[in-house]
Homo-oligomer: A and B are copies of this chain.
């Protein structure tokens, strides 16, 4: 029997989950829940229905894992603990500073309901966290580096869009190649924010807007741009649509460290991602962890978990013996 997946929230991430389920034959999409009028939401899967979010609780016996596809700012802090009482859940909560609090909230309701809730799944937090953690555990005497990009930062794009006279914008975060090389060489550099990443902005201005002022407002914006070398390109709406409509992303996690009785040997562990679609890759990770949540719960586990707590074999549709035979 397939693992029956529910999706709560049908934006980029929800659609990505729907696509990922299609790539995993041991799973099926059971239902999509939305806060919008269900009649207005068209999904791709012909065998699944769209329901109001208010119907979710009633369907708790028809769904093995509910994937929460809302935002980290306001949706998930409320939704993940709430739905963990009725379902095994997976979310992609990515407000790093609030993870401990979110974990505790989900842990309480998931344990009370006898479910598994895996939080902060995706690539950062997620696969990048796993590689940071394992790199630390293996090379205990060393340094961590995380670089992001080249990719679209939604938050920075939004920040530009809020500037007066800006019609639309897209911002790319780009790792500085020379900084990456310095890290890989084992030089153990101390890198400032400015030395690690640059920011490139493609901006559609409203007619007659003061371009010099917009550029200055972007480049001096605290937190978002002031600490970076930022490039601003003004382009037409057509160009933005044609050249910058994708949501690529990626990055690098590098751990360098020393071994030997007198630290005489150096090592570099590097994990990198090059993604055409940030939400579709994130969804692919989430769906693998949904399989894990289902299986761990079947084995009697409950409570909040993170990628650190999930034995890798739970992620794969292959039997353990097959994994050992073919992939070890």
B19, B139, B276, B307: the one within 8 Å of A261 (CB): B19
The listed residue with most B CB atoms (<10 A of its CB), out of A120, A140, A141, A327, is A327
A275 at the interface (CB under 8 A from B): yes
B125, B284, B291, B306: the one within 8 Å of A259 (CB): B284
Tell me the nearest residue of chain B to A140, going by C-beta: B23
A294 at the interface (CB under 8 A from B): no
A212 at the interface (CB under 8 A from B): no
Residues of B near A281 (CB, < 8 A) are 138, 259, 267
Tell me the nearest residue of chain B to A124, going by C-beta: B328
Interface residues of A, count at CB 8 A:
70
Report A81-121 residues with CB < 8 Å from chain B CB. Answer: 96, 99-100, 103, 120
B103, B133, B140: the one within 8 Å of A327 (CB): B133
Docked pose: A249 CA to B325 CA in angstroms: 24
Are A260 and B19 in touch, CB under 8 angstroms?
Answer: yes
Docked pose: A130 CA to B269 CA in angstroms: 14
Are B271 and A271 in touch, CB under 8 angstroms?
Answer: yes
Are B24 and A140 in touch, CB under 8 angstroms?
Answer: yes
Are B265 and A132 in touch, CB under 8 angstroms?
Answer: no
A28 at the interface (CB under 8 A from B): no
Are B138 and A284 in touch, CB under 8 angstroms?
Answer: yes
Docked pose: A275 CA to B271 CA in angstroms: 15
A297 at the interface (CB under 8 A from B): no
> Which of A1-9, A157-165, A315-323 lies at the interface with chain B?
A315-323
The distance from the CB of A252 to the nearest CB of chain B, in whole angstroms, is: 9
**In the complex, per-residue mask of A209-232: 1 if CB is within 8 Å of any chain B CB, else 0:** 000000000000000000000000
The distance from the CB of A307 to the nearest CB of chain B, in whole angstroms, is: 7
The distance from the CB of A12 to the nearest CB of chain B, in whole angstroms, is: 12
The distance from the CB of A255 to the nearest CB of chain B, in whole angstroms, is: 10
A277 at the interface (CB under 8 A from B): yes
Known: A19-B261, A311-B310. A184 touches B133 (CB 8 A): no
19 additional contacts, CB 8 Å, given A44-B261, A125-B328?
A: A19-B261, A100-B321, A127-B134, A133-B328, A134-B312, A137-B312, A138-B288, A259-B277, A259-B284, A260-B280, A265-B276, A266-B276, A267-B277, A267-B281, A267-B284, A306-B324, A308-B324, A309-B313, A310-B312
Question: Interface on A for B, CB 8 Å cutoff?
Answer: 16, 18-20, 22-24, 44, 96, 99-100, 103, 120, 125, 127, 129-134, 136-141, 184, 259-261, 265-277, 280-281, 283-285, 288, 291, 306-313, 315-318, 320-321, 323-325, 327-328
Q: List 14 A-B contacts (CB under 8 A).
A: A24-B140, A133-B313, A133-B327, A134-B315, A137-B288, A137-B291, A137-B317, A140-B284, A267-B273, A267-B277, A268-B274, A269-B272, A308-B312, A308-B316
Q: What are the 10 closest A-B residue pairs judged by CB atoms, nearest first?
A: A265-B276, A308-B313, A137-B315, A259-B280, A265-B277, A268-B274, A137-B316, A129-B328, A133-B327, A311-B311
